[in-house]
Amino acid sequence: MKRVFWCKNCVVMSTRPRVTFNKDGICSACQWMVEKKKLNWVKRQKQLDKLLNQQKSNKTFQCITAVSGGKDGSYITYNLKHKKKINPLAVTIRPPLEQELGKKNLNNFVRSGYQHIHVTPDETAMQKLNKLGFTDYGHPYYGWLVSIHTAVIRVAHEMNIPLVFYSEDGEVEYGGDAKYKYEGVYGVDYQASNYMEGFHKDILNKAKLTKEQAYWFTFPSKQDLKKTKIQITHWSFYENWDPYRNYMVAKKHCGLEESKSLNTGTYTNFGQTDQKLYFLHVYLMYLKYGFGRATMDAGIDVRRGAMSRDQAVQLVKLYDNAPPEDYYDEYCDYYKMKKNDFLQTIDKWANKNLFEKKNRWEPKFEIK
């Protein structure tokens, strides 16, 4: 059990996996924010141009962008097409329990002038992996999490487009393992070891999928990957990452619409509008580590100077503890679980050092 405290500058919590703090109690995300101001972005833009130039001989598409119809993927695809004047192929992996707004936003994005492939992995396999993820590992959409990596790489390999853009490196931007702070490009091995939570093989074995079902949930073979030599990178390496700016640009140029009400568990109404299991994911994150979506959103807002730390603390207190109860029946239907089993699974993942159960799980700590 880690000692519980919060960043002195923002609201990042000490329980966040892989986060570090300096001797003044400032988290790695805040330290990075300061460092970014002095960073040589011109040099990094040149690195980006070089990377894109290497793909010029690739006749039709010069890169792939992973998009959901949300602000970030739309923003980077817009920039690649209109600022960098290259032709990106946008790829979406259809999520479980899609939201209407997410579908609409994805359509709006495509109709703003982007070429796009929609991949729908086998839905039975997706459901199995998501359910096993929830019951056995505390990851309610593990199947989808895997496929947004493996299936995108499958498309890159099959279409021979060896450059793939993801939005931001969350580890560097929001506090975590900053291994790739100074190195922009990585390969499939790093992706597999860092984004699959270490139980990819395990869960595939448990799910007993057929070879056909497993296709989009697994990487191409090592031999195949040797041939294509896919390079993976994050846009946040080349330009100061600002989710709010991305939102404004996507709204203006890609038809992005925000939710009419506030999103569950936070005070914002944009971001993560594509699927409903996300709300369960952040609630489990809250029960496991003690911080939820409002902490993440408020941390970003403090670091970009849009909010004081005191305001952030108030918002965290108000919004973080938000069981997404309105969706529970839908979750039970999807997982094919009895309500009681579903609730017991949630209880199983609550960190009993941090929470105690009253009417609902209540924190034993208070953010200061």
The rounded distance, in Å, linking the Cα atoms of 96 and 142 is 10
> 29 vs 110, which CB is nearer to Zn ion?
29
Q: For the purposes of burial, counting CB atoms within 10 Å of the CB of 222, is it exposed (0-12), middle (13-18) or buried (19 or more)?
A: exposed
Q: Provide the minimum distance between the beta carbon of 7 and Zn ion in the complex, in angstroms, as a whole number.
A: 3
DSSP assignment of 197-248: TT-HHHHHHHHT--HHHHGGGSPPPHHHHHHH--EEEEGGGTS---HHHHHH
Minimum separation from the CB atom of position 322 to Zn ion (A): 22
Give the Cα separation of 141 and 318 in Å (integer).
Answer: 26
Angle ∠(122,124,130) on CA atoms, nearest 5:
100
The pairing of strands 163-166 and 231-234 is parallel
The count of C-alpha atoms lying within 13 angstroms of the C-alpha of 24, restricted to the half-sphere facing its C-beta, is: 7
Provide the minimum distance between the beta carbon of 21 and Zn ion in the complex, in angstroms, as a whole number. 8
Query: Given the complex with Zn ion, which of 16 and 94 has the nearer CB atom?
Result: 16
Least Å distance, CB 3 to Zn ion, is 16
By the criterion CB under 5 A, which residues form the site for Zn ion?
Answer: 7, 9-10, 12, 27, 30
Q: Which is nearer to Zn ion, 30 or 80 (CB)?
A: 30
Q: How is residue 340 written in tokens?
A: 């009681």
C-beta closer to Zn ion: residue 10 or 367: 10
Q: Which is nearer to Zn ion, 209 or 300 (CB)?
A: 300
| Residue 160: CB minimum distance to Zn ion, A | 42
State how beta strands 63-66 and 88-93 pair: parallel
Strands (DSSP E) contained in 82-159 are 88-93, 116-119
Sheet holding 88-93, edge to edge: 116-119, 88-93, 63-66, 163-166, 231-234, 185-186
**Residue with Cβ nearer Zn ion (10 or 280):** 10
Measured from the CB of residue 41, what is the shortest distance to Zn ion in angstroms? Answer: 22
